[in-house]
Chain A
Amino acid sequence: MAISDYYFQMCDALPGREGLLNFNLMCDNLPVLLKGVPLTLELVFISLSLGLCLALGIALMRISDSRALNMIARSYVFYFRGTPLLVQIFLIYYGLAQFEAVRESFLWPFFREAYWCGILALMLNTGAYTSEIIRGGLQSVPYGQIESARAMGMSGVLLYRRIIFPIAFRQALPAYGNEMILMVKGTSLVSTVTLMEVTGIARYIIAKYWTPVEIFLIAGVIYLVINFLVTQLVKHLEHRFTPYLQHPK
């Protein structure tokens, strides 16, 4: 007998319809929902990495002396932090397809796919929030550190690479951890544009069997576990990057 047979036998032993919740059904559908986890993680990973690159550029624009660059960055952050993620997803997925010009352009294969629209929306959204986190980190670098680095003869890229970025990174890490969790939760919204990640699959199962409470409960547990792992990862990173703050053993 395969392992899956043992699993479903174990599920059959759980109480079914009579109880408060149908545990048998929850157990049976757990593997189905877990099939959505790779897509959820993929969306999180891709949009976070692209968003981080974008945010770095935006943060540098925000602290630059050029008024035009500053204004562009400011409006971008204002728009994406001031509107719900759902509007951003709908605007990109449903809104852009309205235009003939978009449909006939070389970008259409890209905007036609819910996958890319979802990633674009998530990336732009996290980019705006992350740029503020990075800006906070960069501004928290004590001026004396920069001055002494300059006195040692560092400048430009070297100054950023050796002094500013490492300090800013440590400062920004806890806030960025929260942003990562927000992104994991944010991916559930792309289920509204037909993507089959965990929430999408949950909605599909519910449309079939009409057992909303049970299925959404397990989906919730899956997200909780993912977010727990993310929190542990951030804790671990914080521990690694701030050795001077630890108590001596």
Chain B
Amino acid sequence: MDFLSLMAFGDSGWGDEMLKGALMTVLVSISAMAIGLFVAVFGTMAKMSNSSFVRGIGNTYTTIVRGVPELLVIYLLYFGLNNAVMGIAKGVFGYDQYIELPVFLVAALAVGLISGAYSTEVIRGAFLSVPKGQVEAAKSVGMNKFLIFHRVLVPQVLRYALPGLGNVWQLTLKDTALVMVTGLVEIMRQSYVGSGSTHEPFVFYITAALLYLVLTSVSSKALNGAENWANKGVRRA
């Protein structure tokens, strides 16, 4: 069979299935990125905390997650989360039936945890690059902590962090390929299933590669636009 009839839409081809897979990849990536950013806010707070214990927790998180293969983190959460939830259900509520968490949730959490470690480093770096004098100046004109955060820090941190967060988004998008091991039907899982039943692996994996290329290049265009927007107030020589 040739490429076009294999990737046709409708019942005869796999085109619509592959597109659905791509949609799932986008959904997992967006959820993971959101979870990651949420985690990163706390990660940054922990790493910049005054208490060495809290700093230690933050450092341990980023070191472990960035030093262990993504595949292992996904496997660990995939198996570990179910066990942990069952353990808690049994210990606290006395519920001893089998519980299976939705794979989407597990996949988004696992990739989110990975993406959160990288986002933490990016956001921390952005905070550190805001000149100290600006915070002092804000204090001297009588701004309180919240106002300094909201008017002085956030707008600049966002601008400094945007390129780094863009890289994290691209990483996250590509890391979602690994959640195929949990059985979630995204691009890779769909290609795996399709190539298994048609014996045409090349066609499916090259389609997968093309879909990822479309996703990464569209997001890189969008990120460039976002950077220009964020930098519109910056004077350039």
A residues near B, CB below 8 A? 20, 78-79, 81-88, 90-91, 94-99, 181, 184-189, 191-192, 199, 202, 212-213, 216-217, 219-220, 223-224, 227-228
Interface residues of B in 145-190 (CB under 8 A from A): 174-175, 177-178, 180-181, 188
Q: List 21 A-B contacts (CB under 8 A).
A: A79-B213, A82-B213, A83-B213, A84-B188, A84-B212, A86-B188, A87-B208, A90-B188, A90-B192, A94-B205, A95-B206, A96-B202, A98-B201, A98-B202, A185-B70, A188-B69, A216-B79, A219-B72, A220-B64, A220-B73, A223-B69
Please name the residue on chain B nearest to A212 by beta carbon: B79
Q: With A and B bound together, what is the CA distance between A187 and B216 in angstroms?
A: 23
Determine if B68 and A82 form an interchain contact, defined as CB atoms under 8 angstroms apart. Answer: no
| Alpha-carbon distance between A132 and B204 when the two chains are bound, in angstroms | 29
A94 to B194, CA, bound (A): 13
Which 5 A-B pairs give the minimum distances between C-beta atoms?
Answer: A188-B69, A84-B177, A95-B202, A212-B79, A94-B201
Chain A residues, Cβ within 8 Å of B80 = 212-213, 216
Task: Specify which chain B residues have a CB less than 8 angstroms from the CB of A185 in the assembled complex.
Answer: 67-70
Q: How far is the CB of B211 from chain A (nearest CB, A)?
A: 9
Q: How far is the CB of B7 from chain A (nearest CB, A)?
A: 15
Could you say which of A82, A88, A99, A217 has the most chain B C-beta atoms within 10 Å of its C-beta? A82
- On chain B, the residues within 8 Å of A90 by CB distance are 188, 191-192, 201, 205, 208
Cβ–Cβ contact A220 & B72, under 8 A: yes
CB pair A220–B212 under 8 Å, yes or no, is: no
Asked if B235 lies at the interface with its beta carbon under 8 angstroms from chain A, I say no
Report Cα–Cα, A86/B202, bound state, in Å.
Answer: 14
CB closest chain-A residue, reference B64: A224
Pairwise interchain contact B64-A83, C-beta atoms closer than 8 A: no
- A83 near B209 with CB under 8 A, answer yes
Do B188 and A87 touch (CB < 8 A)?
yes
| Cα separation A164 to B191 with both chains bound (whole Å) | 45
> Which chain A residues border B208 with CB–CB below 8 Å?
83, 87, 90
Question: Does B76 make an interface contact (CB < 8 A)?
Answer: yes
A186, B70: Cα distance in complex, Å:
8
A94 touches B195 (CB 8 A): yes
Task: Name, among B64, B177, B217, the residue most crowded by chain A CB atoms within 10 Å (CB to CB).
Answer: B177
**Contact partners of B69 in chain A: CB under 8 A:** 184-189, 199, 220, 223
Proximity string of chain B (110-123) to chain A, C-beta cutoff 8 Å, 1 when within and 0 when not: 00000000000000
B67 pairs with A91, CB closer than 8 A? no
Assembled-state Cα–Cα distance A20/B191 (Å): 38
- Docked complex Cα distance between A32 and B200 (Å): 36
CB-based contact A216/B76 at 8 Å: yes
CA–CA, A223 to B63, complex, Å? 12
Q: Which residues of A contact B63 (CB under 8 A)?
A: 224
